[in-house]
């Protein structure tokens, strides 16, 4: 299966453990690029990933899609590297992985994880930090840290239960057993389960769909949902009303109304 979206590429990816590609839609495709190690998260790689996410936001990317080169999305922390560390070094390595995960989670734009092959440990935690997860049928997903006598340490103990419920999350973490993409779809862990050979097209189509919507409105929507989720319902509803009031005066809303009246696709600002 090809692992590029050339029909959408404007700026080709550069070399290194993390590649950044600009798509025609204005989105950034960020690639994990250690295929020989199933994109395991080494110390240098996670620093580069954090910089790539923050750089894409600073450059005005309208959305971010995270992908893995080769036959896997991400196998998690680089355990070969971690074996050579003392406890303090392992803790710092984990903090660096957290920084990358948190950069994705804090991104103010839509974020998508396109999961091929294995998404294990820190790899799944990267995907959990994204808004949307699209998985190939052949993918496997798991928080496997219990096999090493550890617990997830980059948000898995908190984000997974919030997504699929405490009991199912604990089952996955207690056993450390990966689940199939089909099962992940059934329990709401991923938004779509796509035949392997169709993953590239499905991701490209989804990014194109996001690109046809107002980027400014998507930012507001994400902010309102996340802020409101942490508030009492009445306060969240008030936050929604305030945001919509501001949108009613925006250029993009005026363009949306004009496009509707003229029976044409809207031309939103990026």
Active-site option among 24, 137, 145, 227: 145
Q: Domains, the chain, ranges and CATH?
A: 6-211 (3.90.226.10), 215-262 (1.10.12)
Residue 132, phi-psi category: left (phi > 0), alpha (psi -120 to 50), beta (remainder)? beta
Whether 197 is catalytic: no
3-state SS class at 23 = strand
- Active-site annotation holds for 198: no
Determine which one of 21, 24, 81, 125 is catalytic.
Answer: 125
Report pTM.
Answer: 0.92
Q: What is the pLDDT at residue 1?
A: 35
Cα(26)–Cα(63) distance, rounded to whole angstroms? 7
pLDDT in tens, the chain (270 residues): 334 343 445 555 556 999 999 999 999 999 999 999 999 999 999 999 999 999 999 999 999 999 999 999 999 999 998 999 999 999 999 999 999 999 999 999 999 999 999 999 999 999 999 999 999 999 999 999 999 999 999 999 999 999 999 999 999 999 999 999 999 999 999 999 999 999 999 999 999 999 999 999 999 999 999 999 999 999 999 999 999 999 999 999 999 999 999 999 999 987
Q: Considering only CA atoms, which of 145, 150, 104 is closest in space to residue 126?
A: 104
Going 149 to 154 to 157 to 161, the CA torsion angle's sign is negative
- How many degrees, rounded to 5, is the angle at CA 134 between CA 31 and CA 256? 95
């Amino acid at each position: 299966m090809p692992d590029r979206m050339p029909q959408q590429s404007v700026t080709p990816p550069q070399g290194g453990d993390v590649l950044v590609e600009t798509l025609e839609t204005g989105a950034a495709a960020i690639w994990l690029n250690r295929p020989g190690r199933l994109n395991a998260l080494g110390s240098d790689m996670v620093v580069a990933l954090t910089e790539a996410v923050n750089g894409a936001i600073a450059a005005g990317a309208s959305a971010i899609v995270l992908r893995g080169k080769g036959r896997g999305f991400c196998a998690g922390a680089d355990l070969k590297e971690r074996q050579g560390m003392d406890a303090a070094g392992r803790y710092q390595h984990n903090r660096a992985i957290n920084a990358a995960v948190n950069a994705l989670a804090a991104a103010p734009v839509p974020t998508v994880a396109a999961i091929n092959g294995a998404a294990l440990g820190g790899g799944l935690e990267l995907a959990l930090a994204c808004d949307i997860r699209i998985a190939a049928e052949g993918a496997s997903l798991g928080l496997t840290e219990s096999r090493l006598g550890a617990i997830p340490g980059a948000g898995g103990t908190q984000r997974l239960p919030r997504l699929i419920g405490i009991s199912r999350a604990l089952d996955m973490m207690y056993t450390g057993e990966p689940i199939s993409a089909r099962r992940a779809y059934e329990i709401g862990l991923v938004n779509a389960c796509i035949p392997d050979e169709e993953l590239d097209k499905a991701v490209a189509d989804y990014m194109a769909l996001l690109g046809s919507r107002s980027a400014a409105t998507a930012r507001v929507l994400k902010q309102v949902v996340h802020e409101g989720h942490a508030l009492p319902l009445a306060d969240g509803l008030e936050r929604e009303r305030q945001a919509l009031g501001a949108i009613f005066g925006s250029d993009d809303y005026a363009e949306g109304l004009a496009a509707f009246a003229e029976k044409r696709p809207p031309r939103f600002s990026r």
